[in-house]
Amino acid sequence: MDALKKNPAWKGRKGPLVLVIMDGVGLGKYKEGDAVLDSKMYNLAAIRGKSLFTTLKAHGKAVGLPSDDDMGNSEVGHNAMGCGRVFSQGAALVCAALESGAMFAAKAWREVVDGVKAGGGTLHFIGLFSDGNVHSHLDHLKGMIRRAKQDGVGKVRVHTLLDGRDVPETSALLYIDEFETFLKGLCDGSFDARIASGGGRMWITMDRYGADWEMVRRGWNVHVHGEGRPFASAREAVETYRRETPGVIDQDLKEFVVRENGRPVGTIEDGDSVVYFNFRGDRALEITAAFEQDGFNKFDRGRRPSVCYAGMMEYDGDLHAPRRYLVSPPAIDRTMGEYLAASGVRTLAISETQKFGHVTYFFNGNRTGKFDEKLETYIEIKSDVLPFEQRPWMKCAEISDYLLEAIPSGNYDFIRLNYPNGDMVGHTGVYEAVVCSLEAMDLQLGRLARAVDEAGGILLITADHGNSDDMFEHDKKTGAVQFHPDGTPKAKTSHSLNPVPCVIYDSGYSGEYKNGPNSLKQGLGISSIAATCIELLGFVPPDDYDTSLLERN
């Protein structure tokens, strides 16, 4: 990797460039349900008032997703910001592999199918059960089940991770009913496909970053051993839990096992095959480790079946996990982090556990580890292990405490951080908690701005996608808020399609760029953050990076 070229017109700054990523903070379309607008974010407003400003696209094609109807997410958002270009991402790659048939011609699929055909075993699918297109899509699952039947597989079992996070919060039965109809249309004397188990995505299986392995243990026991509360069907399970716990949303539903004649219909046994059909990696790695690792020690797996396991994609290119995958991920190279390391830039990346991987692994193009141990420092602040609405301030103060020492230390040229508040609390659907989380974050923005100012640095504030800016369900045609029968607004827990802010506060500006007052380039996406940061560090961006937001003299 060659070093970046210096920009001879850059006069330099005494302090570091600090990139703040306000996770899940967009610029809302509707006044009602916009927790960002409703929050008293006085510090952000004050910073914006004396800074350059623009809005950035953070969803759809601007971050490599199939269409502009697709909401952005933290993974593709950090990929785009860190690599400075737009790569086709998980959903687009899977769709292409399905449509072309390349998935089914590949070795991994043949191994999955041939294994169960040879021994009369069962093909199991585990994954997020919705069409949110952030972690998975039911169309992908349906396409694989159709092909499995065509390829001669006789028995399929589906283990459902209920969503209510990237889709409406209580939509599970809509997906379950439609899917049961789909399976019924396929089943005949030679083919048997059923839902076997499930539970909410924030209760079983889909933990990430080692935050709560107990989630994975519960999922393992449900999917593999058939251990959990028994029901005659997935519908019965959802209806029962909703009746017993009024107000519970899909992502928090407890685990269930479908039983028939007193026995689970779909335990995972020796000789079976398992496909984890999520295409996104962060919430796939832990259950993958439980299936694949011989020296696994995070919980007692009990009986570990000998199976042919495959992920939808390679979830970690450095760890090569899983060992078998159906679709190759985008090959992201020459990220900003790699260029900065080659150029001698001293870097600090920091967040709490929930988003630590985003400012490291995803920001670096799905790469584990550092480019240069001497130049890079990664700091993880441990997240609380409890529902985020109970601690909506999360760890933003602790992150800031560390930064208030790091910024004036002289040890770093570039600092990047993620405040998870707007996204993680936004997903709970608890409006008051979201407002609290944003106002807590705003206090920290004020602290950072003062520290950057005193150190003579530059502060760049942006976001990876929207979420907390769109907390109520709205009618798609009229924009009117949707209400429950009791008169309360229907909470929206998924990401938004809204643009995100971009603010550059540089009190030491001395003529290096010529943007007019309060204006940066318009109409760009968050992939332009990389070239912008490179310019603010005094270098010339690579020619093929998406354009900087700055107008250079």
Do residue 49 and residue 151 come from a single domain?
no
**Structural domain contains residue 547:** no
User: pLDDT tens digits, residue range 322-349?
Assistant: 999 999 877 899 999 999 999 999 999 9
With 0-12 / 13-18 / 19 or more C-beta atoms within 10 angstroms meaning exposed / middle / buried, residue 373 is exposed
For position 408, what pLDDT does the model report? 98
Do residue 370 and residue 499 come from a single domain?
yes
**Structural domain contains residue 74:** yes
- Per the structure, how many domains does the chain have? 2
For position 210, what pLDDT does the model report? 86
Does residue 317 have a pLDDT over 90? no
For position 514, what pLDDT does the model report? 81
Do residue 474 and residue 502 come from a single domain?
yes
Do residue 499 and residue 480 come from a single domain?
yes
The arithmetic mean of pLDDT across residues 68-84, rounded, is: 90
- Residue 271 belongs to a domain with what CATH number? 3.40.1450.10
Q: How many Å apart are CA 339 and CA 349, to the nearest integer?
A: 15
Q: How far is CA 466 from the centre of its chain?
A: 12
User: pLDDT tens digits, residue range 383-405?
Assistant: 999 999 999 999 999 999 999 99
Do residue 316 and residue 404 come from a single domain?
no
What is the amino acid identity at position 360? T
Domain boundary among 327, 362, 395: 327
**CB neighbourhood size of 319 (10 A):** 14
Do residue 122 and residue 148 come from a single domain?
yes
For position 134, what pLDDT does the model report? 87
Do residue 138 and residue 171 come from a single domain?
yes
Do residue 228 and residue 345 come from a single domain?
no
**Structural domain contains residue 548:** no
Helix, strand, coil % in the chain, rounded to nearest 5: 35, 20, 45
For position 510, what pLDDT does the model report? 83
**Structural domain contains residue 552:** no
Q: Domain of 166?
A: 91-327
Under the banding of pLDDT at 50, 70 and 90, the label for residue 154 is very high
Under the banding of pLDDT at 50, 70 and 90, the label for residue 67 is confident
**Structural domain contains residue 553:** no
Q: Which residue has the higher pLDDT, 12 or 376?
A: 376
**Structural domain contains residue 441:** yes
Does residue 70 have a pLDDT over 60? yes
H helix or E strand, kind and range, residue 530: helix 528-536
Do residue 99 and residue 49 come from a single domain?
no
Secondary structure, 3-state, 70-95: CCCCHHHHHHHHHHCCCCCCHHHHHH
- Residue 22 belongs to a domain with what CATH number? 3.40.720.10
Name the DSSP class of 256.
Answer: E
User: pLDDT tens digits, residue range 91-121?
Assistant: 889 999 999 999 999 999 999 999 999 989 9
**CB neighbourhood size of 276 (10 A):** 29
Do residue 142 and residue 236 come from a single domain?
yes
Domain boundary among 284, 302, 327: 327
Of 267, 102, 255, 115, the closest CA to residue 194 belongs to 267
Does residue 318 have a pLDDT over 60? no
User: pLDDT tens digits, residue range 357-369?
Assistant: 999 999 999 888 9
**Structural domain contains residue 65:** yes
List the single range of 68-82, 211-225, 458-472 with lowest mean pLDDT.
68-82
The CA-to-CA distance between both ends of the chain, in Å, stands at: 28
- Mean of the per-residue pLDDT values of the chain: 94
Of 278, 537, 394, 453, the closest CA to residue 23 belongs to 394
Does residue 258 have a pLDDT over 80? yes
Q: Report helix angle 90-100 to 138-150, nearest 10.
A: 30
Q: Are 17 and 416 in contact (CB under 8 A)?
A: no
Do residue 409 and residue 493 come from a single domain?
yes
Name the DSSP class of 483.
Answer: B
Do residue 146 and residue 292 come from a single domain?
yes
Report cis status (omega within 30 of 0) of the bond before 387. no
**Structural domain contains residue 188:** yes
**Which are the catalytic amino acids?**
74
Domain boundary among 327, 354, 385: 327
Under the banding of pLDDT at 50, 70 and 90, the label for residue 552 is confident
For position 518, what pLDDT does the model report? 57
244 in the Ramachandran plot: left (φ > 0), alpha (ψ -120 to 50) or beta? alpha
3-class secondary structure, 462: strand
List helix spans (H) across 120-254: 138-150, 172-186, 213-223, 234-244
List the single range of 70-79, 193-202, 306-315 with lowest mean pLDDT.
70-79
User: pLDDT tens digits, residue range 199-216?
Assistant: 999 999 999 878 899 999
